[in-house]
Amino acid sequence: MWTILTIDTNIWAYYFDSDTPEHARVAERVEESLKKGEQVVINTVIVLELAHFLVKNLGPVEGGEKLDVFLGYPFSIADLDYATALESIEMLKRYSHLGIGGRDATILAVMRKTGTNRIMTHDEALKRVDWVEAIDPLQHEP
């Protein structure tokens, strides 16, 4: 049985930019999830946000190459269609008091649509949503 996991943009950014101090810890956890055969689900907003980060921080050539690697990974990409946009608005209204913004609301909507509550993220607002099980590879063990 596959377990479904969403991986947030901040984790992918740390994963692909080896100059970040977070890279090693994040890379280990992402690769572990991929090796375990977890079904990774992302949305088109994550793809565009990561593309922006990689091109801005690594330049159009290196950033583009890393984006090509990312897009070759075995995950499902949920489109931001009209129904998902409406669900995103509902998530924004329901959780904005926790710090959820428009981008995070699209992630929550896709998680609901795909039936997962698990996300790998370093985003504090997403960690505050009561039905979300946040996995933060950067969180210090007690």
Is 27 contained in some domain?
yes
Residue 46 covered by a domain: yes
The answer as to whether 97 is a domain residue is no
Does 100 reside within a domain? no
Confidence of residue 140 (pLDDT cuts 50, 70, 90): low
Is residue 32 a part of any domain in this protein? yes
Statement: residue 1 has pLDDT above 50: no
| Residue 131 belongs to domain spanning | 4-76+117-135
**What is the phi-psi region of residue 110: left when phi exceeds 0, alpha when psi lies from -120 to 50, beta otherwise?**
alpha
User: Does residue 40 fall inside a structural domain?
Assistant: yes
Compute CA distances 116 → 13, 22, 38, 40, whole Å: 22, 25, 12, 10
Provide the 10 A C-beta neighbour count for residue 35.
8
Q: How many domains does the chain have?
A: 1
Helix (H, G, I), strand (E, B) or coil at 134: strand
Residue 103 lies in a domain: no
Spell out the residues 6+ positions from residue 120 whose beta carbon is closer than 8 angstroms to its own.
5, 6, 7, 8, 11, 29, 30, 33, 134, 135, 136, 137
pLDDT tens-digit profile of 62-120?
A: 999 999 999 998 889 999 999 999 999 999 999 999 999 999 999 999 999 999 999 99
- What pTM was computed for the model? 0.91
Q: Which residues contact 67 (CB under 8 A, 6 or more apart)?
A: 50, 51, 54, 55
**Predicted local confidence at residue 36, as pLDDT:** 85
For range 127-131, the mean pLDDT = 97
Q: Residue 4: what pLDDT?
A: 87
Q: Provide the CATH number for the domain around residue 56.
A: 3.40.50.1010
